[in-house]
Structure 1
Amino acid sequence: MAEGSRGVVRRIGLVEDHESVALGFAAMLADQPDLELVGTAPTVSGLLEQVTDLDLAVLDLRLSDGSSPKSNVEQLRAAGLETLVFTGAENPYLLRSAARAGVLGVVRKSEPAAVVIEAIRVAAAGGQVASTEWAAAIDGDPELDDVGLSPRQLEVLELYASGEKLDRVARLTGLAPQTVNDYLQRIRQKYAEAGRPAPTKTDLYKRAVEDGWLPMPERSDVRRR
């Protein structure tokens, strides 16, 4: 790492496929003596082809190549890079996907430049970036009552609510069908106790989307349950 007027200069790479955002990002860091933007690309593979000796990768969640946050973060981590998410934070599923992959935090594109710069500075030094969006990604939307599902219950919910039949959920999880049914009854009970009843499969799907466990459907995505 180079030495700047504030000490160590952290090398930053940006994965962003909107040119205007990339230009604004570069402008933000231009007068920061301890942060150097050394590469920008619309995909993770494109960034890694440019440079690998980075201190931090800054990643937009929704890219036009259709890649998932999880696969992108895993690709960056395989290259030895930690990641900070830089996003509009409009999709709880994408945030949860990134959280599960182990990013250092989330910062909104709408935040003031000083907030974004400080988040980059903290993450580039290996620190966690605490934010409301990050807490929501890990713990669920703070405006929704947490139902406290266990990891096994979440696995059953994600499979069943996404459209799988009970017997197939049992096969995929290695559980007995009756055990899956018991889990579903308990999941419904927890949602009801939280004031968010889910008596039908469609209701369970809606709750899973609300809580960020399943992706929001595209407008053209017509689901029959």
Structure 2
Amino acid sequence: MGGGSLFESSQGESEVAVVVIDAHDVVHAGIEAWATGSQPRMKVVGHYAHPGDFIEDHPTASSVVDVVLFGLEYGARAPVFDALRQVCRAGHRVVVYSHLDHDEVILNSLDAGAVCYVVKSESGMHLAEAIYAAGSETPYVAPAMARALHNGAVRGRPRLSTRECQVLIAWCQTENKDVVAKRLFIEPSTVRTHLQRVRAKYAAIGRPAPTKAALIARAIQDGILDVDEL
């Protein structure tokens, strides 16, 4: 590790110090190669496979790291927002970079504290702009992020917790609540409570889902679940 906040390069240009958190080695290598020669300059100053290892080394924000590039992945069939939330709460400026492009995933990432969300299918220009903006504490909205924000405002979306999303996904994919409970290592009564809260939140925004079929439809509409995952 090394560097400093927007430190000066040998050419006198400001560089953005970036740390990459991603489980895949090829992503680390690709980002570092892509960053080389970027204008304005950015420098990858650290690689981590697990968010917990990064937090152990950087429990609070400092001048060593300007921007954290966070590779959001699935864990237990739901995106791992808890780890993202932990990094954001430590004060780090986080740009999420992921193949996940569902509106609900993007909105939940922003709710967790990410300053920007860039989908891997979007051009490198958007990723660069997001990193530079985060490093200078200015806003930037990438295309998929803009779509998610717009759709969320237009159609209304419930503010589901990470656990509620996990229960909802598992419920949509299984035959009964007992199976959900076993999959998530919780009590059947806890499953029922979470589903009651999910239905109450949908009803509160004028999108009731009183049946399982309706709940599945809502989950698909909001990008919580793909049809292929059923």
Give the 3-state SS of the residue equivalent to 1:140 in structure 2. helix
Are 1:31 and 2:37 an aligned pair? Answer: yes
C-alpha separation between the residues in 2 aligned to 1:203 and 1:150? 15
Alignment-derived partner of residue 71 in structure 1: 82
1:3 to 5, 8, 23: 8
Superposition pairs of residues 55-204 of structure 1, within 5 angstroms: 55-62=66-73, 68-140=79-151, 146-148=154-156, 162=168, 168=193, 183=203, 186-188=206-208, 200-204=211-215
- Residues 203, 40 of structure 1: CA spacing in aligned structure 2 closer, same or farther, 3 A cutoff? same
Over residues 40-76 of structure 1, what are the superposed CA-to-partner deviations in whole Å (9 max), with x where a residue is unaligned?
Answer: 1111122334556311101111066988442122211
Cα drift, residue 23 of structure 1:
0.7
C-alpha separation between the residues in 2 aligned to 1:81 and 1:75? 9
2:19 to 13, 28, 39: 13
Letter in 2 for 1:148: G
Over residues 93-150 of structure 1, what are the superposed CA-to-partner deviations in whole Å (9 max), with x where a residue is unaligned?
Answer: 32222021121111222333333222211122122221221123334379xxx43367
After TM superposition, the score normalised by the length of structure 2 is 0.66
Give the 3-state SS of the residue equivalent to 2:44 in structure 1. strand
Cα drift, residue 210 of structure 1:
2.0
| Cα contact 2:156–2:205 (8 A) shared by 1 | no
In terms of Rg, which structure is larger?
1
Letter in 2 for 1:183: A
After TM superposition, the score normalised by the length of structure 1 is 0.67
C-alpha separation between the residues in 1 aligned to 2:95 and 2:35? 15
Name structure 2 gaps, 5 residues minimum: 172-176, 178-188
C-alpha separation between the residues in 2 aligned to 1:125 and 1:182? 38
Letter in 2 for 1:125: S
Over residues 21-40 of structure 1, what are the superposed CA-to-partner deviations in whole Å (9 max), with x where a residue is unaligned?
Answer: 21110001122363111011
Give the 3-state SS of the residue equivalent to 1:203 in structure 2. helix
Q: What is the aligned-residue identity percentage?
A: 20
Alignment-derived partner of residue 192 in structure 1: none
